[in-house]
């Protein structure tokens, strides 16, 4: 069964096994949205778009164009459906991609949003794509490829939680090793964990 979320600005349907924003929309979604600021004229890439919620928020924050990608076909179909539901087809392109694999070669963005799975645990099936990042392989590849797709003054944002003891230091070390500096732009407490919104920019 589909879940449906409606706010005064956005309508979101959640297809089975697609990561749901919590009602009406998750804390992290709100804070990431606040963090976007004014996106007028900006090019945005939303990696791991799920329902498409953050791509839709970006378009509503004024982005010129948004590319929304997910590795999981039901998520791609769900995001496409939500883009239509919100009449944003002219602003958002949705397609399947394993991280940057299908993003046009050399294409650069002002903002990359990457709310990927954050639990370092072996993945048992595709339905758990939203949750598990075994040996942190998706994040390693994200940080390896991101510099090719980020404009010089662009930024990458993501939400992370201390679900495992070394979650934050592992992410921060990976970012620094990959040539990024980082800022924690928001920290909140929910479900017995600390949730942080990070912003990454290239080291000069
Ligand atoms: C935690 S959910 C976030 C969904 C959405 N961005 C949100 O904030 O509600 C993570 C999403 O990343 C997708 N994903 C996992 N691995 C991926 C990969 N290698 N490339 C692209 N998307 C991936 C999952 O299918 C899932 O939809």
pLDDT, position 59: 92
What does the pLDDT look like over 155-175, one tens digit per residue?
Answer: 999 989 898 888 899 999 999
3-state secondary structure of 159: strand
pLDDT band at 78 (very low <50, low <70, confident <90, very high): very high
pLDDT, position 23: 46
What does the pLDDT look like over 185-195, one tens digit per residue?
Answer: 988 888 888 98
CA of 20 to the centre of ligand 1 (A): 11
What does the pLDDT look like over 2-20, one tens digit per residue?
Answer: 677 776 678 899 999 898 8
Half-sphere exposure of 37 (CA within 13 A, CB side): 8
pLDDT at 125 over 80: no
Q: Does 24 sit behind a cis peptide bond, omega within 30 degrees of 0 on the bond before it?
A: yes
**CB of 75 closer than 8 Å to CB of 7:** no
Q: Which two tokens stand for residue 113?
A: 């949003």
Ligand 1, atom 12: closest residue by C-alpha: 48
List the chain domain ranges.
Answer: 39-202
Percent of the chain with pLDDT over 70: 90
Ligand 1, atom 15: closest residue by C-alpha: 129
**CB of 64 closer than 8 Å to CB of 42:** yes
CA of 136 to the centre of ligand 1 (A): 14
Beta pairing class for 180-190 and 150-161: unpaired
Cβ < 6 Å from ligand 1: which residues?
Answer: 19, 21, 29, 47-51, 53-54, 69-72, 75, 98-99, 115-117, 129-130, 138
Q: Looking up tokens 């919590």, which residue turns up?
A: 22
Q: Which two tokens stand for residue 161?
A: 């939680």
Give this prediction's pTM. 0.92
CA of 106 to the centre of ligand 1 (A): 22
Kindly indicate whether the domain formed by 39-202 is annotated with CATH number 3.40.50.150: yes
CA of 193 to the centre of ligand 1 (A): 20
């Amino acid at each position: 069964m589909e879940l449906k979320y409606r706010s005064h600005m956005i309508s979101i349907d959640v297809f089975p096994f697609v990561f749901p924003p919590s009602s009406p929309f998750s804390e992290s979604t709100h804070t990431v949205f606040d963090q976007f600021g004014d996106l007028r004229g900006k090019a945005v890439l939303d990696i791991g778009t799920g329902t498409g919620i953050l791509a839709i928020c970006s378009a509503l924050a004024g982005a010129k164009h948004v590319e929304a990608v997910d590795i999981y076909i039901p998520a791609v179909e769900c995001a496409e459906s939500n883009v239509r539901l919100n009449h944003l087809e002219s602003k958002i392109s949705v397609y399947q991609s394993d991280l940057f694999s299908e993003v046009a070669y050399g294409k650069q963005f002002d903002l990359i949003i990457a709310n990927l799975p954050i639990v370092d645990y072996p993945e048992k099936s595709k339905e758990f794509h939203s949750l598990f990042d075994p040996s942190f392989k998706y994040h390693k590849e994200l940080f390896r490829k991101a510099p090719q797709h980020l404009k010089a003054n662009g930024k990458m944002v993501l939400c992370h939680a201390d679900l495992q003891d070394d979650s934050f230091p592992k992410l921060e070390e990976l970012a620094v090793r990959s040539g990024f500096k980082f800022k924690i732009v928001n920290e909140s407490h929910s479900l017995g964990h600390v949730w942080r919104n990070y912003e990454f920019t290239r080291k000069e």
